[in-house]
Amino acid sequence: MNETLKSIAERYSCRDFTGKALTDEQIKSLVQAALAAPSGMNSQPWHIIVVTDKKLIDELDAEGMKILASAEDKSAYERFMSRGGKLLYNAPCMVIITAENPQGSAMDCGILTENVALAAHSMGLGNVIVGMTSVPLSGENGANFKKRLKFPQGHDFSMSVLVGEAKSTKEPHELDMGKVSYVN
């Protein structure tokens, strides 16, 4: 099996990070992998925000958990509490992808997101693709967070990837061949 297929097969969603900071070289490699993503008509509809300010990540985490705790449906809150009580899993680095039209550019931003996740895994880093970053960004303090994160004018949240040294490992999910049809 070649290295690319091996990374795809072995990657899993890491939900517990040590908190150890990434090196400048690791961050540079993640950014280059993100920017190498293809997009329709090479439109590159995204903007990439690399967050290594652990205090800010922790503030986003706390705000998100507060919002989930106050929601009428407590299922998401309870799920995160059962995983250690952290929305962002103590990650030391968050790659946020924004776009002017996140719905219209979802495929392009998704490709970029997967590039970051696979690059991180290939470098021996744990990672998880998360949409829950939208929780604190859409709450009452969302505009302030977007300003602090330097969202470009007119851009909204698309997706994020948490990256860092994994505290523990797990097996990737099982492949469900029932999801495949062949037409010959």
153-158 CB contacts, 8 Å cutoff, 24+ apart: 154/100, 155/47, 155/98, 155/99, 155/100, 156/98, 156/99, 156/100, 156/102, 157/96, 157/97, 157/98, 157/102, 157/133, 158/46, 158/97, 158/98, 158/99, 158/102, 158/105, 158/106, 158/109, 158/113
Query: How many H helices and E strands in the chain?
Result: 7, 4
Number of domains the chain contains: 1
Q: Which domain CATH number covers 30?
A: 3.40.109.10
Mean pLDDT, rounded, for 105-119: 97
Residue 152: pLDDT band by 50, 70, 90 thresholds?
Answer: very high
Q: What single letter denotes the amino acid at residue 152? A: P
Alpha-carbon torsion angle 160, 164, 166, 172, nearest 10: 40
| Segment 68-96, tens digit of pLDDT | 999 999 999 999 999 999 999 999 999 99
Q: Is residue 53 one of the residues assigned to a domain?
A: yes
| Confidence band, pLDDT 50/70/90 cuts, at residue 107 | very high
Quick check: 37 pLDDT over 90?
A: yes
Average pLDDT of the segment spanning 129-136: 98
Q: Which domain holds residue 80?
A: 10-168
Q: Is there a domain that residue 173 lies in?
A: no
Give the pLDDT of residue 103. Answer: 87
Say what the pLDDT of residue 1 is. 84
Confidence category of residue 153, pLDDT binned at 50, 70, 90 = very high
Question: 22 Cβ partners below 8 Å, 6+ apart?
Answer: 30, 52, 92, 93, 125, 163, 164
The model's confidence at residue 13, banded by pLDDT at 50, 70 and 90, is very high
| Average pLDDT for 3-30 | 96
Percentage of the chain exceeding pLDDT 70: 100
Kindly state whether residue 124 falls inside one of the protein's structural domains: yes
Q: Which of 58, 43, 73 is nearest to 136 (CA)?
A: 58
Question: pLDDT tens digits, residue range 156-171?
Answer: 999 999 999 999 999 9
164 in a structural domain: yes
Q: Is residue 93 part of a domain?
A: yes
pLDDT mean across residues, the chain: 96
pLDDT at 102 over 90: no
Determine, yes or no, domain membership for 2: no
Tell whether 177 is covered by a domain.
no
Residue 184 belongs to a domain: no
